Structure 1
Amino acid sequence: MAVVAVWKCDRDGKMFENKKDAEEHDKMLELAANITSLLETHIDGLDESASEAIGLLLAERREALAKACKGKPSVLLEGPEEGSDNADNVTPLTAQA
């Protein structure tokens, strides 16, 4: 039986094949939580689930958002950047033979 090292994200429990990807995902979730808090503080009547969804979206698309703020707003209308989705790095928790 082989032993496979995995790293678990503290915030949502997702498993990753390497520490760098796990830490990057955790930082993205921390940014999403802070954006959510900012939205809820400054926008009265915003539903909690909506503010969480907006926070997560903005955190996931942070590179595109930064480019848009630097003068390329059309970048936000494009699909997610290649390699920006951490879902490919998540390790499934199924038994491997």
Structure 2
Amino acid sequence: MAVIAVWLCDRDGSMFEDKKVAEEHDKYLELAANITQLIEENIPGIDEKYSEAIGILLAQRRELLAKACKGKPDELLQPFTYEKPVTLNSKTATATDKDD
């Protein structure tokens, strides 16, 4: 039996075979959580599901958002497809699909 090293992301339980990908995924989730917290602290009465959706959206598009802040606002309007990093499904140990 082969032993495979995996990295577990404690934020969402995702498992990764590549440490660099695992760390990038963790940074993405941390950014989304911090954006969500920022929104909730500064917009009284916002529904938690909406603030979380906005946090995730902005974290997914962080690179486009950075370009927009540097003088290219049209970058945010470009078509965008977020692809989840490849993770191991804990039940089947196969890669997961793209995010919806």
Unaligned segments of structure 2, at least 5 residues: 95-100
Q: Which residue of 2 aligns with 1:57?
A: 57
Q: Which residue of 2 aligns with 1:70?
A: 70
1:90 pairs, out of 82, 87, 92, with: 87
- Equivalences, count: 93
Distance 1:73 1:95 in 2: 41
CA contact (8 A) 2:25 2:85 kept: no
Render the CA deviation track for 1:44-85: whole Å, top value 9, x for unaligned: 12100100110011011100000011111111111337xx63
The alpha-carbon deviation at position 42 of structure 1 amounts to 0.7
The alpha-carbon deviation at position 92 of structure 1 amounts to 3.1
How do residues 8-47 of structure 1 correspond to structure 2 at under 5 angstroms? 8-47=8-47
Unaligned segments of structure 1, at least 5 residues: none
Distance 2:93 2:44 in 1: 47
For normalisation by structure 2, the TM-score amounts to: 0.82
- SS of equivalent to 2:13: coil
Q: Which is helix-richer, 1 or 2?
A: 1
RMSD value over aligned CA atoms? 1.8
Distance 1:95 1:62 in 2: 29
Distance 1:22 1:53 in 2: 22
CA contact (8 A) 2:21 2:85 kept: no
Identity %: 65
